[in-house]
Amino acid sequence: MPHLAVNGVRAKYGAHEVLRGISLSIEKGEIAALIGPSGSGKSTVLRALVGLTPITGGHVEIAGETIDYRNANAVRAARDRMAIVFQQYNLFQNMNVMRNVTLAPIKIKHRPKIEVEAEARRILDLVGLGDKHAAYPDQLSGGQQQRVAIARALALQPQILLLDEVTSALDPELVNEVLDTIRRLAREGMTMIIVSHEMAFVREVANKVVFMDRGEIIETGAPKEMFDNPKTDRARDFFGKILRH
């Protein structure tokens, strides 16, 4: 049984249909990468999964359980199992790093404070920010903030981690520290859906690459096949353009 199954999902922004029947499935521990040109709806897929963009058609199953996103309780359950990291980190500006990471586990998941803080320290060490737990977001660099955002997501103990173009807003020299963190997570077997423009990274880390364009999935496959030998014209066009440099 797939960990996550998306079946014919549709979504709209106002009158414009952004997702036109998306179907994909991800096994436990698998890392899927969504790639494609701007406006193809890649980020929207992630946003729909966490209930930020309303789904107008199709359905989503997590570990076999269907989720009705119109039901508030179902959305809460879905958010319980998934954690998302945004392109703009979206750290809570009024709290320091430790509080950012531990707020939800303590207040929402009602886990004991001592346990959560110990785990938070472990996770912050994992992302290389063990000494920054008292810092405020505006005192950190972009790369550091993004790593805190990843730590915050991990502290929620999600089954699936969603990464929405997490390096796109960073200066080039800060990108690698974030990619390293993701590599480490991959080694530890976290199920992930990654939306990214970093093609070399995608090729290295992903088990499955999904190419999207204009709200539809054009082609799916293993990285090696997709990059070296795309089957559809649109995919070939895309890869030809980006891989030239």
Partner 1 sequence: MERLLEQIPEFFTAANMGLLLEAAYMTLAMTVMGCLIGFGLAFILVYLRQTPGLWALPLRVVCITYVEFFRRIPFLVIVYLVLFFIQALTPNASLFTIAVIAICLYSVAYTADIIRGGLESVPHTQIEAARTMNMSRLQTLIMVVLPQAWPVIIPPAIAFAVSFIKDTALVSQIGVFELAFRGKELNNQGYSGVLVFGTIALCYFILSFPLTLLGQHLEKRLATPRGQRSARKVRRT
Q: In the complex, which residues of this chain contact partner 1 (CB under 8 A)? A: 50-52, 76, 79-80, 83-84, 86, 88, 90-95, 99, 103-104, 107-108, 136, 138, 156
Name which of 38 and 93 has its Cβ closer to partner 1.
93
Nearer to partner 1, 101 or 182 (CB): 101
- To partner 1, the closest distance from the beta carbon of 70 in angstroms equals 12
- Give whichever of 101 and 218 is closer to partner 1, judged by the CB atom: 101
Least distance from partner 1 to the Cβ atom of residue 86, Å: 7
Query: Is the Cβ of residue 87 or residue 220 nearer to partner 1 in the bound state?
Result: 87
* Choice between 45 and 235, CB closer to partner 1: 45
Shortest separation between residue 75's beta carbon and partner 1, angstroms: 9
* Shortest distance in whole angstroms from residue 110 CB to partner 1: 11
Distance from C-alpha of 4 to C-alpha of 61, rounded to nearest angstrom: 6
Q: Shortest Cβ distance from residue 139 to partner 1 (Å)?
A: 9
